[in-house]
Amino acid sequence: MIISNLIGGLGNQMFQYACARALSLRTRQPLRLATDQFDSYQQHNGFELLRVFDLNVPQATREELVSHLGMQAHPKVRRLLGRPSMRWATGKKWCNEPSFDYWPGIRNVGHPAYLHGYWQSERYFAEVVDVIRNDFTFRGDFDMLDLAVRDRMASAPCASLHVRRGDYLKGKFKSVYASCDVSYYVEAVQLLRKKFPYINLFAFSDEPEWVKKYLEPEIGYVEIINHNVDTRSSNDMRLMSTANYHIIANSSFSWWAAWLNPSPDKIVISPRHWFLNGTNDTDLIPSSWIRL
């Protein structure tokens, strides 16, 4: 059995699932999702993976976690031992992500295995991309609000533009994540307009008023989508994935929105600087994407 520990927002959960799904297929083992740490997780919208996508993957039971990890199964203990610096204290069934960049050792992981980390690289599931795309099929249909947006996006070539500010500008995150400024979006839009002068822009942001006040005067009219808040926020990922081209933020949310677009002709522009703290993000961005 392969057990994947899930935590973080929807984009993080998707990376954690995709890595574990690829490992379960390679080892021909059943997959389980450990979601108990969301009981004390106050950020984002909690465990969303099975609500958003048409997946049928069991959540790990307490008994399965204990069978795998013994006394280390308690969520607080797993949070402690899940740190890269604590790899020495874990057993053979543990698989801690040793660093943010791709870890080739994943190829040697057998079963049973408990995966703890973020696994943010397409390289972890590159051999099964078609499976992952199929797994991440959104549940249900667009509602009337989102259907109207989708139809406007489909009426002419368009680009999704994601602006994430909010938590990146607060507390501990201020020294971890870079903040994409106006100049990044201006340069990205100019690049797309050289190829597609009449491209339509649709902006998705946790601070739509910032887009209106600071960005729109620099890039011209952009349709700002601001009705998908709280538990509706995953609808923004779904809408962004339908665009022809993508300008993403340094956010796993818009990373996945761009990745879920299956078109071989898509253009994805991403920020050159994802972090402020020196984290190696070399393996995060697919080679076909453009970094500015």
Task: Look up residue 168 and give its DSSP letter.
Answer: G
Q: Which of 115, 110, 22 has its CA nearest to residue 65?
A: 115
Return the pLDDT at 164. Answer: 85
Strand ranges inside the chain, DSSP E: 2-5, 31-34, 94-96, 113-116, 158-163, 200-205, 223-225, 245-247, 267-270, 290-291
Q: Which of 204, 211, 200 has its CA nearest to residue 159?
A: 200
Return the pLDDT at 24. Answer: 96
Return the pLDDT at 170. Answer: 52
Separation between Cα atoms, residue 230 and residue 45, nearest integer Å: 7
Return the pLDDT at 174. Answer: 59
Return the pLDDT at 234. Answer: 95
Return the pLDDT at 66. Answer: 92
Return the pLDDT at 172. Answer: 59
CA angle 9, 11, 15 (to 5 degrees): 115
* Tokens of residue 197, six digits: 């002068």
Return the pLDDT at 134. Answer: 97
CA angle 68, 72, 77 (to 5 degrees): 135
Return the pLDDT at 196. Answer: 96
Return the pLDDT at 175. Answer: 58
Task: Look up residue 213 and give its DSSP letter.
Answer: I
Question: Can you give the pTM of this predicted structure?
Answer: 0.94
Return the pLDDT at 173. Answer: 58
Return the pLDDT at 34. Answer: 95
Q: Which of 186, 208, 198 has its CA nearest to residue 269?
A: 186
User: At 55, phi and psi to the nearest 5?
Assistant: -105, 150
Per-residue pLDDT of the chain (292 residues; tens, 9 = 90+): 999 999 999 999 999 999 999 999 999 999 999 999 888 776 677 899 999 999 999 999 999 999 888 888 888 888 888 777 777 777 778 888 998 999 999 999 988 899 999 999 999 999 999 999 999 999 999 999 999 999 999 999 999 999 987 655 555 555 567 778 999 999 999 999 999 999 999 999 989 999 999 999 999 999 999 999 988 999 999 999 999 999 999 999 999 999 999 999 999 999 998 887 788 899 999 999 999 9
Alpha helices in 32-139 (DSSP H): 49-52, 62-69, 75-81, 129-135
Find all residues with CB under 8 Å of 49, minimum gap 6, and list them: 6, 10, 13, 14, 17, 33, 55
Exposed/middle/buried for 52, CB within 10 Å: 0-12, 13-18, 19+? buried
Find all residues with CB under 8 Å of 117, minimum gap 6, and list them: 5, 16, 82, 95, 96, 97
Return the pLDDT at 39. Answer: 80
